[in-house]
Amino acid sequence: VSGMARPLPPALLRVNGAVGPVGAMGSARLERPPRMAAPPAAPMLAQKRRLEALGCGPQPLSRPPPLRPLPEQRPPPERAIVARGAARAMAPPSQPSGGFLVIPAPPRTGVLGAEEEDQVISDPSVLAALEHAYNARHALKLELPASRGVHFEDRARARAEHAADLLVPMLPECARSALLGASEAQAWLPLAQQDALLSQAIRSKSGANGDRLYEAIKTLVFISAFAEAMGLEPDSMWPMPRGSAATLISGEHQRAKKAGVGSRGGATVGDNFRSSLKFLVEHLGFPIEVSGTVVSGAAPSAKASGGRKSVAATLPPRFYFHLESLAASSEDSIVRFFARSFLLCAWFSIRVQDMERTKFFPDSRDPTLVVRGWVKCSKDGEPMDLFAPAKGILGDFTWLAEYLESIASCENQAFPDWSGGWGCRSNLSKATSLLAGTTASTTSIRAAFAYIVPP
């Protein structure tokens, strides 16, 4: 065959009983290969009859039933859908209701309900100890440092120092050794110096406002009260094995689910308690076994717990219309000042927790057409630069230069604290002055937003 790299071998044919290459056999008569014998018809016929006797044979074709016309009006939902387990009258499957065939679901057997599945802790003494521990934590009242009339840096530093001073005496010897090292090798180190080193280390893990440390204090109070109710010494809880950790986590999850309080019905309380135990292990040196299947299965994670989750979202356009209208007002007031601050923060989609750490300042190139800002510490712990054109939905921010001049006396803080008559926290119309060198707390910022943007 032309075009091929290697010639094919000559084809072989059977000619008159002899085998040879094509072309070498001359004009001899080609012999057709013998055909395979057909199977006898008797066994096949018997097999067909056996299948027909069993009802497996071919069935005669029949005309399909005529289609039922659809109803002119849609039936009510209760006639078309039947909830699982609902006790209501239903038409039998042979009697269509309103043009729709409703087939009831079979009863669910052998499946535990949500409340029965959560009842893992059933021992009366353990349940009583868990209840006592919860009451002790709930009754804990911490005198927090002042949050009004101070700068956010001073407020965060004061809260961290306060929480660290409370935590250092609560550390057991095993946690102190894990943070400082073997106690025998540093017997020469004075106790006051050890406490100072521990306090410095704890303050570095306080977070933005010290909330992590306060949560750790509440968790330790819970564990200590649980040991007291069980007739144990507080130090006997350390080291804490997986079974004990899972009991505390599962007990908190069981109690919260039964109470059903919160936006998600208490489904995330157990996971939050587990996160607090992990914080004690990772940052405070507590010997707690928080890994393993028993601990992870003691309560569902926040993602797997279901329910309605609180998430951040961008404001709808009507909020921008309202804020831009207040910001463009010609009347100088504290309400207008904070309306401009809220508008710029919303334009950058800044979280409420970050607003107290937000500053705005003039742009070095074009201070009238560009909004520049800076967040000292964002959600990930890193600073965040802000940059956007000074233009909203209703037009340019012609008031930007005036606003930047007004916040210059407040160290460029977008939300300085304010003072005024009684009730000025929830009613900004009663506020009389801004406090320079201070920042409003997150609670005050939320109250101001609720006043400026009513429901």
Q: With a cut of 50, say whether residue 84 has pLDDT above it.
A: no
Mean pLDDT along residues 297-316: 75
Q: How far apart are CA 368 and CA 391, in angstroms?
A: 10
Write down the pTM of the prediction: 0.64
Q: How far apart are the first and last CA of the chain?
A: 88
Q: Provide the pairing of β-strand 18-21 with 370-375.
A: unpaired
| Whether pLDDT at 168 is above 90 | yes
- Give pLDDT tens digits for 91-132: 444 444 455 566 666 665 544 444 445 578 888 999 999 999
Q: Report the alpha-carbon distance of residue 76 to residue 309 in Å, rounded.
A: 32
Share of the chain above pLDDT 70, in %: 72
Between 210 and 61, whose confidence is greater? Answer: 210
Alpha carbons 111 and 420: distance in angstroms, whole number: 60
Question: Cis peptide before 43, with omega less than 30 degrees from 0?
Answer: no
Structure tokens at 448: 């101001």
Q: Is the pLDDT of residue 191 over 70?
A: yes
Residues 133 and 178: their CA atoms lie apart, in Å, by: 26
Q: What is the mean pLDDT of the chain?
A: 79
Is the CB of residue 371 less than 8 Å from the CB of residue 397? yes
Q: Which residues of 175-208 are buried (b: 16+ CB within 10 A; e: fewer)?
A: bbbebbeeeeeeeeeeeeebbeebbebbbebbbb
Residue 378: the pLDDT is 78
Cβ(319)–Cβ(346) under 8 Å?
Answer: yes
- 232-278 pLDDT, tens digit per residue, is 988 899 999 999 999 999 999 999 888 887 777 788 899 999 999 99
Per DSSP, the three-state class of 374 is strand
414's tokens: 């977008």
pLDDT digits (tens, 9 = 90+) for 55-67: 665 555 555 556 5
Residue of 311, 155, 290, 296 whose CA lies nearest to 219 = 290
